[in-house]
Structure 1
Amino acid sequence: MEWLVRQVKDEVLKVSGCVEGAMPFRYLGIPINPSKLSKKECQIMADNILDKIRCFGTRKLSYGGRLSLVNFVLTGLYSYWANIFLIPNGVLRKIDAYCRNYLWDGSSDYSRAHMVKWEWVCSPKREGGLGVKYSLDWNVAAIGKLVWWIYTKPDSLWVKRVNQICIKGVDWASYQPKTHMGWNLKTICKVKDLMQPSYSMGQWTANPKGYRIHEGYHWIRTKQQPIGWYKLVWHSRCLPKHRFLIWLIMRNALNVKDKLFRHGICLDDLCCLCGTASETGVHLFHQCVYSQGLVAGMASFIHIPVPSANAII
């Protein structure tokens, strides 16, 4: 039997002009492997992110510049992988750490305390965050696309193989993998059970046109109440570094004297401008007499109205 298989394979290679290879191999920078990707193989993705961070100019960029690179470059790398593979959670946590450290310190290593929790950073801007994708939830949402494919049964060789060899006519909504099944199918089934409430009769209820990864991501993540100062911070005419600074002020994350005094760094917490009250973020930018006079003078010079502090807060 083996000689017959070998003969057919040789004929196919001769007719097609192809060359016989071996697993694993790399295609478009991605390791192709018939089994589960190991952490060592996924290290290629982590190394690519580190190389990008080293090429970004590190600490020379402002917070706003780093945020743009995290949102559009670093998260794009693992999003591309997540659309193809099931990535181990340990690798995703490492990638989150790289992005978090780069945002706050301009390097991939942890060297200073982060000013805002990563959970808040990964919240949408309308909910008081920065809109960075949380890699663990995004990976689950990407796996959700495979769940939807099995529901809808498109003309795909992978879907046909899963239905004929693994599911074998069992209702996908109630299907549970057997113990000898692989890690990939078991992970897909876990996501299927997690997202079961979002399906009705095998259809994705959030969008009648079909499943979208970003819709699945927003369905999975923990939602917060919208904030009232969203438009104030993310104004289209505001520079990125100014947006980030205003966002830190509204999140009360600046290292003002009130915080430094509690940590024993300053001798007192009095405002460095007026010297009459504790220097908090709200006081420094909205309540300080000196700051109010400075803002009023600038507004009068450029002829624009100044909203009251209570209206902003």
Structure 2
Amino acid sequence: MLFSRGDLPSVRILMDCLQEFRDVSGLVVNSAKSNIFTADIQQHELDYILEETQFARGEMPVRYLGIPLAAKRLLITDFSTLVDRIGACIRKRTAKSLSFAGRLELIRSVIQGVECFWLQTFPLPAAVIEKIHRHCRTFLWNSKMAPVAWEEICHLKQEGGLGIQYIQSWNVALLS
């Protein structure tokens, strides 16, 4: 992903750099797989840029490395991929076939590993966090009725919890 100012001279400099990179490395930019995403550029300037680069104009939102990128704040529905992926990790394993310790370790390692990539990129809305907690809580207790509040489970072991990272706190820490 390359960034530049939205004017023709800046784009020409960028294209010259790509040309020099091609000459040195032998690697060529694939125009069919490349897009230009713009913001606040007048149409006539955009037409010149598209003609200069021979790239197609991309539209937001777009997925980059599995993460949705948008020019505006993401909606809760944009996080459905994350929630669905966590649900799929849980559905792969039946709760009955794992012990409580096995389910706990699955949440701690696999599921929190999936979350981590998103948590370091975006502040998650409370509704998304609640959906993830619901999936994990139901899987951990093998029931919709949890005998202990999720917030208590997320305390350190020394404090009486199970050492699971509390998503909201972890999100803030990773973003900082």
Q: Show the counterpart of 1:59.
A: 96
CA offsets per residue over residues 202-230 of structure 1, 9 Å max, x none?
xxxxxxxxxxxxxxxxxxxxxxxxxxxxx
Amino acid aligned to 1:38: L
Q: Show the counterpart of 2:173.
A: 141
CA offsets per residue over residues 176-224 of structure 1, 9 Å max, x none?
xxxxxxxxxxxxxxxxxxxxxxxxxxxxxxxxxxxxxxxxxxxxxxxxx
Amino acid aligned to 1:50: G
Instruction: Please show how residues 206-245 of structure 1 align to structure 2 within 5 Å.
Output: none
**Long gaps (5+) in structure 2:** 1-41
CA offsets per residue over residues 89-130 of structure 1, 9 Å max, x none?
11111111111111010xxx72xx323332221011122211
Q: Show the counterpart of 1:104.
A: 141
- Among 81, 88, 113, the alignment partner of 2:118 is 81
- Among 134, 147, 153, the alignment partner of 1:121 is 153
- Among 50, 63, 70, the alignment partner of 2:87 is 50
Amino acid aligned to 2:122: F
CA offsets per residue over residues 282-306 of structure 1, 9 Å max, x none?
xxxxxxxxxxxxxxxxxxxxxxxxx
Q: Show the counterpart of 1:70.
A: 107
- Deviation of 1:57 after TM superposition, in Å, equals 2.6
CA distance in 2 between counterparts of 1:4 and 1:79 reads 40
Amino acid aligned to 1:129: G
Which structure has more relative contact order (CA 8 Å, sep 6+)? It is 2
Query: Is the partner of 1:31 in helix, strand or coil?
Result: strand
- Among 130, 147, 155, the alignment partner of 1:93 is 130
CA distance in 2 between counterparts of 1:41 and 1:133 reads 23
Q: Show the counterpart of 1:221.
A: none
Q: Show the counterpart of 1:131.
A: 163
Identity of aligned residues (%): 36
Amino acid aligned to 1:87: L
Residues 37 and 87 in structure 1, CA contact (< 8 A), matched pair in contact too: no
Residues 157 and 163 in structure 2, CA contact (< 8 A), matched pair in contact too: yes
Amino acid aligned to 1:39: I
Instruction: Please show how residues 1-313 of structure 1 align to structure 2 within 5 Å.
Output: 2-11=43-52, 13-14=53-54, 18-105=55-142, 110=144, 113-143=145-175, 145=176
Query: Is the partner of 1:26 in helix, strand or coil?
Result: strand
Larger radius of gyration: 1
**Long gaps (5+) in structure 1:** 146-313
| TM-score with structure 2 setting the length | 0.70
Residues 50 and 57 in structure 2, CA contact (< 8 A), matched pair in contact too: no
CA distance in 2 between counterparts of 1:30 and 1:2 reads 28
CA distance in 1 between counterparts of 2:138 and 2:60 reads 35
Aligned residue pair count: 135
CA distance in 2 between counterparts of 1:62 and 1:90 reads 29
Amino acid aligned to 1:119: E
Residues 93 and 136 in structure 1, CA contact (< 8 A), matched pair in contact too: no
Pair 1:4–1:129, CA change in 2 (3 A): closer
Give RMSD over aligned pairs.
1.7
